[in-house]
Structure formats: C-alpha cells, structure tokens
Structure 1
Amino acid sequence: MTLALAPQEIPARPFRIRGRVWIVLSAVIAALMLLPVLALIWQAARGSAGLWSHLAANVLPHALSQTAILLAGVGVLVAVIGTTMAWLVTAYDFRGRRVLEWALLLPLAVPTYIVAYAYLDMLHPIGPVQSAIRAVLGYDSPRDFRLPDIRNMAGAIILLSLVLYPYVYLPTRAMFMTQAANLVEVSRTLGTGRAQVFRRVALPLARPAIAVGMSLALMETLNDIGASEFLGVRSLTISIYTTWVTRSDLPGAAQISLAMILLVVLLVSLERWARRRQRFSVSAQRSRSFEPRRLSGGAGLAALAVGLAPVLLGFVFPALFLASEAWRRFRFAGLSDTLVTEAANTFILSASATLAVLLCGLVVAYAARLRPKRDMLALQRIASLGYAMPGTVLALGILIISAGLDRWIDQTARQVLGVSTGLLIIGSGAALGYAYLARFLAISVGSIEAGFSRIPRSYDHAARALGSGATGAMWRVHLPLSRGAMAAAGLLVFVDCMKELSATLLLRPLNFETLSTHLYAEAARGTYEDAALAALAIVLVGILPVVMLARVGRRD
C-alpha cells in the first residue's frame, strides 16, 4: 500500500517548494520595476517648496499646454488615418490591396526621430525638395521661394502621426475582419449604404480597438524626445531632459516626471473609461467575414492611391532619402571605425538586455501560471509598469537609484579597501541595461504568457505525476512548447532596444555611443547626412518585426 502511493506523494512537496522560488523571484522583479517610481517620489520630495512654485509658474504651464496640444493632434490624426486605412483594405477589394495590407505596417520600422531628421533635411530650404520645386518654377534663390518651415507644432503632429498610425490600424483592422457578415448584411437590407454601415455599425463595434491603438500611439508620443526637440515642440519630456542635463536640477526633473506620470495615468484611465460600456459578442459558429466590395477602374486606382499615401510619406520617402544619403556618405568616406564601434556597442547592449528581459519575463509569466491568483496578477502588472512610463521618466528614476548605489559602493570600498570604484553601475552600462529591462519587460511577459496559455494544464499535472518539480516541468514542457513566443518577444525587444533614445541619452556611460545617440548628436549639430548610415541601419533592423507581424496577419 505504501509503495503504491509513494511515487505520487513524494514529488508533491518539492513541487510546492520550488514553485515558491519562482513566486519569490517574480516578487523581486516586480519590486525592481517599482523602485524607479519610488525613487522619483523620494527625490521630488527633497525639492524645496520654492522649486515647486517656480516649476508651477514658469515651466509646467507651457510644457503641459504643448504636450496637450501635441497629444490631441496626434490622437485625432492617428485615429483617422489608422481607422480609414483599416476599413479601406477590409471592406474593399482592388488591385494592390494584398500588398497594401502589410505595407501599411512599414512606418513602424522607422523611429519617430529618424523620420523627423529625414524630413528636416529633405525639406530644408536648400534641400532636394525645395531645390527641385524652385528649378521647376524658375526661381534661383531660397529668398525668392521657400516652403513653410515644418519645425512647429503642426509639423510635429503630422510627422508623428505618419509614423504612429499603425498602432491604430493593426487592432482596428483585426476588429473589422472579425465582425460578422450578418450584421453588415442586415443593415444593408434595411436600406443602409456602405458609408452608413461603416459609421453606424462597423465603427461603434471597433471603438475599443481604436481606443487601445490611440493609447499606445499617445504613449509613444510622450516617450519621444528627438522628433519633438528638433521640430521645436517643448513637451514635458524635453523639459525633464533639459532640467536635468542643462540645469543639473535633479529634484526639479523628478517633480516634472511625477507630473508626467500623472498624465500617463490620466490617459490610461480615459482610455478605459471611454470603452467601459463597450460590450458585444458574435456567435463563432455562425459568424463569417463579409465579402469586400470589388473596385475596378478609376475607383480602384483612387483607393490604391489613398492607401499608398501614408506608406509613401511615413516610410518610403524617408527610407529612400536615407539610403541615398548613406550611399553618398559611404562612397565619400567609407565605413568609419567609429560607426563600426557604435554598431557593435548597439548590438552587444541590445542582445544582453534582450536576454535579461526574456529571462525575467519567463520568471514572471511562469510564476503567474503556477499561482493564477489575484496577488500574482498584481505582481505581473507591477512588473509591466515600465512600459507605460516614458523612457526619460524611467531613466531618471533609475539614475537616482544608480547614483546612490555608486556613492555607497565607492565609500565602502574607500573605507575597507582604500580604493575608489568610481561610477561602477553607471559607468559599466548596468544602469542602462536596467532601464531596458524595466521598459520592455511587459513585451516579454505578454508574449511568453500568450505562449503558456496554449499549453493545457493537464501537461503540468502529468509532469508532476511523473516526478518533475516546478523547474523541471518548465524546462522539459513549457520552455520547448513556447519557444516560438519567446523568439517573437526577443525580436521585438531587441529592435526596441536598438531604437530606444531617451533612456540611452541619460544613462549611457561616458564615451559610449550607440547608433541612436550618434544620430541624435549629428542632428543636434545640423549634420543629418553624416548620420544617414546609422539611421539606415536602425530602419533595416526595424523592418524585421514588421515582416513578422505581416506574416502572422496573413496566416491568421
């Protein structure tokens, strides 16, 4: 009797004990993600009351108004472009539609600051566009004819929207594709035209997807530092950066960061409030996608032209300009050793951060699977907190922590060993890796959790019955079955690390440059063409996740 029960009872206790280790590690990771916010609160509290009044009177009003206008403009424009493009490729069939379905995702490959730099150079008074227009019109000098300057709020809104509209296009198109044909057909039998079907049926049902896409686009707008700065918009992000770097006022930067966190919380709350009553369900057994209307002749060409406009403006024109400038620079000066070093720095840093993000994401996602309760859900949300925070705010919180640890380590080493360690954490790049981990952990957790959700719970029970503990079950069962999800997460994180600018500017070690910081420095000096090779390299790597998204969309 005892021998028969032993194989089932013995593994039970080790499984529970090892499972607790995963939960403890998940709690530690969540605490690390929460530390930057606590550090900001602590640093802001150290500022004097006079500093608060100065910021409230002279800095925050202008920065808040600029940020509000920028967010409102980008929100409206990305919603219009993304929703229109999603309905165009879903409700109509025309020549080139299948290419357009994935081509509309291409602007995601280009960071906002690269598009801004490219257009600043293309539309410069002596740049190729205005020079060609003057040649056609017969003018000889920019004094005789020049286009309006794009370095203003309107230019920033348009350029940011041309890059960020895919955040709305992707979920909205998925929502349109899942809407049942019978809903559309019933509305058509009641005498409703296709335009009215879109306005009264499809658009209300797609409102949650539009709201989610808009919130993501607005988060990216808040995170932007390069495009806003060089287009002349003094947003909250720019105010944080200049307050710390230019004025060396850390408490003031922390206080502006807290105001920015409140703005992020307000955006998320508004997004959830806007779709609080949005509920709908469709029978999966009887639903079918409605057939798109065939367009031919002039109507088909017009639809293709409308669909190509955001692709050309948001990706093709900047990419072709960068390729042209990169080729000219390569023929003139070749591939410099400095650029090779910066590319190596970018690759090593991004690869190391990606590995850390995947490992921590695996811990958090697996701990939530072992204990699917509210406390683990709370830990998971805390661990994903950094993705909702702009990179500048997150970097500032990590800077406070890293500087304090560096001072403590240096003082301890002086007292015990009689040597100075200097800026050990910041100087080694560990602080920058911490920022990447906090910023992109949510991508890893979400992707790995999605992979785990496809693994039946019976596999866990079978592994436990065969004598495997929690770690053994993860190693032998969950990890092999979720390799695809982890690979997708790793690709997304790697590309995002390569493109990240705001956190890299604040936390990179001295004399350590990446492709993004090299591009920023050249743009600050006004020599955009010298950074064309670096910009083109970032764009080419950024195309990889877009290709992956397009393949997934076609397969689905």
Structure 2
Amino acid sequence: MTAHRRSQAWPWHAGTILAALGVLAPILALMGQAGQGSGAHWGHLLQFVLPGALVQTLALLGGVGLLAAALGVGAAWLVTAYDFPGRRVLSWALLLPLAVPTYIVAYAYLDILHPIGPVQEAVRALLGYSSPREFRLPDLRNLPGAIVLLSFVLYPYVYLTTRSMFSSQAAHLMESARLLGYGPWSAFRHVALPLARPAIAVGLCLVLLETLNDIGASEFLGIQTLTVAIYTTWVTRSDLAGAAQIALVALALVTVLIAVERHGRRRLRYTGNRRAAPIRPRRLQGASAWLATLLGLAPVVIGFIAPAAYLLALTLERLGAGQGPSPALLRAAGQTLTVSALATAAALAIGLVVAWSRRIMPKARAWHRALPRLATLGYAVPGTVLAIGLLFPLMAAERGLAALRTATGLDPAGLVLLGTPAALALAYVIRFLAIPVGTLEAGLERIPHSMDQAARLLGENVHGMLRRVHLPLLRPALAASALLVFVDAMKELPATLLLRPLNFDTLATWLYAEAARGTYEEGAIAALGIIAAGLLPVILLARLLDRPAT
C-alpha cells in the first residue's frame, strides 16, 4: 500500500480503533470497578447471593441447552431428510419463535396457564371440577417451566445453523452408510450428526448466550439467575458495587461458554464437494407422514402460534370494547421507535467504517485484523452486564463535560449522556454492532477486488470508491443490517431496564411493568407490536434459508 493510499485509509482505521475501544471500555471499566470492591462485598456475595444464583443459572443453561439442541437438531433433520405433508411450510415456520422474545412467551403462558386461565378452566370443565381448589395443574413458575419455555423459543438458533449443514451434506455419504448396513437412525447418528457438530456448537452457543441475557422470563418464572441478581442488587438494594461484582461473574461465565464452544470445534475441519448432490428427502407415507407433520408443527405451536394467538385475542377484545391504546402506551411506542432508529443509524455508520477499514487494508498487521473482532464483542455480553459496565465511562464523561462547561462559563448542572436516551442508544449500538459489521463484511466479500482496481485506475480514491462503487452494491446488506438492529433494539429488555431515563418507557419495559403488576390488557398490545416487528427479520431469514434450494 502506497503512502498516499495509507493516508487516505487512516481515518477509517482510526474509526475502527475508536469503535473497538468503545466496546471494550464498559468491559474494562466493569473489571476495574469490581476489582476495587471491598472484601466485605465479595464475602457477602459469596455467602448469600452467588451460590444460589450460580446454581440456578447453570441448571437453566444446562436444561435449555439440552432441550433446545434436541428440538433444533431434530427439526432440522426432519425437514431435510424426510418429505411429508406441510414440509415446505414447516421449513420456514420453524423459525417463527425467533420473532417472540422470551419475556413475551413467559408473559403469555403465565396468563394462559393461570389457575383461572383458559386452559385450566377447560381442563376442569372436562373433568367435572368447578374450582381451582379441587383441581389445578402444576405451577409454571419453577425451573422446569423456565427450561421448557425458553427452549421452545430459542431452539431456532440450533435449527438454523444445523439445517444449513444438513442441506449441504452430500447424498453419497448417506448412501455409502446405507451400503455399509446402517439404517436411517444409525446413518444419522454415525454420519450426519458428527458432520453437523460445528453448526450445532455455534447454534447452541447462541442459545446459551440468549438464555444468560434473559431477565424478564427468568424473573416472571421465579428463577434467580445471575442476570436477575444484577438487576435486583442495583435497583432494589441500590448497591452498584455489588451489582458490578455479580456482573463480573456473569462476564466470566460468558467467557467460559465461548471458550468451550471454540475448544469443542477447534480441530473439526470438514470439507466437501460443493457440486455433489444434496440429501434427497425420503418420502413418508400414511401414519408416519402425518406423525412427522405433527412433530414438526409442535414447536411452532408452542413457541409461536399459541402465545401470539392469545395476545392477538386479548388485543382484539380490548379494541372491540372500544378501549384503544392509552396515551402512555402510544408514547412508549414512539420512544421505542425513536431510540431504536437512532441506534440503528449509528450502528450502521460505525459498522460500515469497521467493515470498510478491513476491506481497504487486507494485509494489515495482526493487531489491526483483530480490531473488527473486538468491535463485535458486545453481542456476547448480557445486557445487564453491559449496562453496569457502561455506567462508569458515562459517569467519567459526565464529569469531564461538567468541568468543560465550568471552564467555559456555562452552568455545569444537568446530564448530557447519563440518564438520557443517548445512553440507551449507545448501549444498543455496543450490544448489536456485531450485526452490521458481520453483514457488511459478508457483503463486501461478494464484491470482487478487481472492481477496486478498476476504480483506482479510473482515478477514484478510497472515499470515492466506497461512495460510487461499493455503497450501491451494499444496499441489500445495509437494509438487512438496519432491519436486524432495529428489531433487536426494540426487543432489548435488560439494558433498557437499567439505563432508561426517568419516565421513559419502551414497549419492552412497558410490557415488563404490566406483567409485574399482573395486568394483561395493554401489555398484550405492546407484546403484539414487538412480535409484529420481530416477524420481519424472521421472514428475511426464511428467504435466505430457502435460497440454496431454489
């Protein structure tokens, strides 16, 4: 790279460095603050808080991981290896639970399965009972209930990655297994499943990270996880130092999860012939075909159709009674759209800087190549941990801004970042920056480097090459990134609960407050709005998943 080109590229590299430092700042600040905590704090946490929270967190992670992996792998193999009625619809419908955040599923099922809810009322009427005191189903508020609900919402992460791996496997591998005497189940267990281990590991890691990030469903269902402990320690007990120390433990658990996932597939290297024919689904007949349809439909019904239909019924009932959304709910919807749009615009701009910086310096040093990876670390950090860590840089920035206003003769009172929507948007950017970085890097990789050389021969510099050549070609990637970031920001609950300003609600926090009060009327409208927005990226994923088959 010439000195002239290096001088043109430097602003992009500087932006990447700032993005990486911005993501690392809350993590480093959290580690420093937790390390400065008193021994009495650590002693209290180790004796009274961490043992129970850590045990329940690990139990929840283990149960959700096993059940979600079974559901995701089973569903992926079912729609890949077998042909049955409704298979084409189920191949994308199995992604629908991704549109429903975990806290909404818990919110809906707590009402559906309430002792005086529709399900238990119907069961009692069928059995001839008239009161919950005579007969009631087991309470959903326990660890097994949380494991089941979270698994039926999060299994699509495993399904998505595993189905792509199953679809790309060559048919001759399965045929060879059959010739060696393996039956359908043995061929799946000895050939297809081992080949899909890297995909399963990636999907399962995402499931566990989402489980650890959850706060609404765990709290609604009475599970005292590390995430819930962080929230209650700060908000209920006003103990920021203790919350920082629990957050550090949660961050250590995230690091262990990622390290285990990387270690488990470090030596797994699979190659295949892309021209080989994919697996041809085996046609099922009669009862086995309809049984396959029912098995594929069950996760969709439990994870999406049942809660979404119930919330829709509640919403229509309220609207039919002439009770529309309250002004406060409409204000929360407007604030949700505003802060999500700000975060989306900022994340796209920063993601473009990071991705373009890597593009224009492909032979950079190792430390520079690591910067884009550092800029995407926020996605692996639970929202509560990120919020706690972000507090300390924001407080330092506020002190610096107050000193600057004092030096210039202005009134130093008032907050510019902390306790404002700007802090919330910043948390969203750090949390979801991995989405535009990854999507735009993938989009740039599809553009041949010969176009860069042609643009330079025509006299374009680095900035003009991006503006006139690459940005038009990146429009699909930019649109997909904007959609994913916007919807994820709308659904984000943990960081929003901890960083939102006073009297500032989003749809997620409005729903959380309604569930805490035990009221379901307006909460159903907010939940339905979040689900409707969440359907958009699911539709996009379904189209991408079906593209290789076309």
Indicate the residue corresponding to 1:124 in structure 2: 114
Q: CA RMSD in A?
A: 1.3
Match for 1:73 among 63, 66, 72?
A: 63
Match for 1:508 among 500, 513, 517?
A: 500
Q: Which amino acid aligns with 2:287?
A: G
- Structure 1 SS opposite 2:300: helix
Deviation at 1:322, TM superposition (A): 0.3
Q: Which amino acid aligns with 2:41?
A: L
Structure 2 Cα separation of the partners of residues 375 and 183 of structure 1: 41
Match for 2:463 among 471, 482, 499?
A: 471
Match for 1:30 among 20, 30, 41?
A: 20
Deviations 1:337-393 (A, max 9, x none): 112111111111111110100000000001011122322221011100100100110
Match for 2:286 among 284, 289, 297?
A: 297
Query: What aligned pairs does 1:39-78 form with structure 2 within 5 A after superposition?
Result: 39-78=29-68
Indicate the residue corresponding to 1:496 in structure 2: 488
Select between 123-132 and 375-384 the one with higher mean Cα deviation: 375-384
User: Conserved in 1, the CA contact under 8 Å of 2:80 and 2:279?
Assistant: no
Indicate the residue corresponding to 1:7 in structure 2: none
Deviation at 1:46, TM superposition (A): 2.6
Match for 1:92 among 82, 93, 111?
A: 82
Deviation at 1:228, TM superposition (A): 0.3
Deviations 1:250-280 (A, max 9, x none): 1111111111111111001111111222222
Structure 1 Cα separation of the partners of residues 389 and 305 of structure 2: 37
User: Conserved in 1, the CA contact under 8 Å of 2:325 and 2:522?
Assistant: no
Deviation at 1:12, TM superposition (A): 5.8
Indicate the residue corresponding to 1:108 in structure 2: 98
Indicate the residue corresponding to 1:6 in structure 2: none
Indicate the residue corresponding to 2:308 in structure 1: 319
Matched, 1:155 2:164: no
Deviation at 1:326, TM superposition (A): 1.0
Q: Which amino acid aligns with 1:327?
A: L
Aligned residues: 545
User: Conserved in 1, the CA contact under 8 Å of 2:31 and 2:248?
Assistant: yes
- Structure 1 SS opposite 2:417: helix
Alpha carbons of structure 1 residues 283 and 418: separation in structure 2 relative to 1, 3 Å: closer
Indicate the residue corresponding to 2:355 in structure 1: 365
User: Conserved in 2, the CA contact under 8 Å of 1:36 and 1:394?
Assistant: yes
Query: What aligned pairs does 1:138-537 form with structure 2 within 5 A after superposition?
Result: 138-285=128-275, 287-332=276-321, 333-372=323-362, 373=364, 374-414=366-406, 416-417=408-409, 419-537=411-529
Q: Which amino acid aligns with 2:282?
A: R
Deviation at 1:414, TM superposition (A): 4.8
Deviations 1:318-346 (A, max 9, x none): 00000011112223321221121111111
- Structure 2 SS opposite 1:539: helix
Give the structure-2-normalised TM-score.
0.97
User: Conserved in 2, the CA contact under 8 Å of 1:386 and 1:441?
Assistant: yes
Matched, 1:553 2:542: no
Structure 2 Cα separation of the partners of residues 203 and 296 of structure 1: 25
Deviation at 1:427, TM superposition (A): 3.4
Structure 2 Cα separation of the partners of residues 555 and 351 of structure 1: 29
Q: Which amino acid aligns with 1:349?
A: V
Alpha carbons of structure 1 residues 343 and 240: separation in structure 2 relative to 1, 3 Å: same
Q: Which amino acid aligns with 1:302?
A: L
User: Conserved in 1, the CA contact under 8 Å of 2:226 and 2:250?
Assistant: yes
- Structure 2 SS opposite 1:426: coil
Give the structure-1-normalised TM-score.
0.96
User: Conserved in 1, the CA contact under 8 Å of 2:158 and 2:200?
Assistant: yes
Q: Which amino acid aligns with 1:291?
A: R
Deviations 1:207-234 (A, max 9, x none): 1111110000000000000000110100
Which structure 2 residue ranges, 5 or more long, are not aligned?
Answer: none
Select between 420-429 and 211-220 the one with higher mean Cα deviation: 420-429
Q: Which amino acid aligns with 2:95?
A: L
Structure 1 Cα separation of the partners of residues 348 and 23 of structure 2: 15
Structure 1 Cα separation of the partners of residues 447 and 245 of structure 2: 45
Q: Which amino acid aligns with 1:133?
A: V
User: Conserved in 1, the CA contact under 8 Å of 2:82 and 2:283?
Assistant: yes
Deviations 1:388-442 (A, max 9, x none): 1001100111122222322443354356535243222123311111100100000
User: Conserved in 2, the CA contact under 8 Å of 1:12 and 1:464?
Assistant: no
Which structure 1 residue ranges, 5 or more long, are not aligned?
Answer: 1-10
Match for 1:538 among 514, 530, 537?
A: 530
Percent identical: 57
- Structure 2 SS opposite 1:140: coil
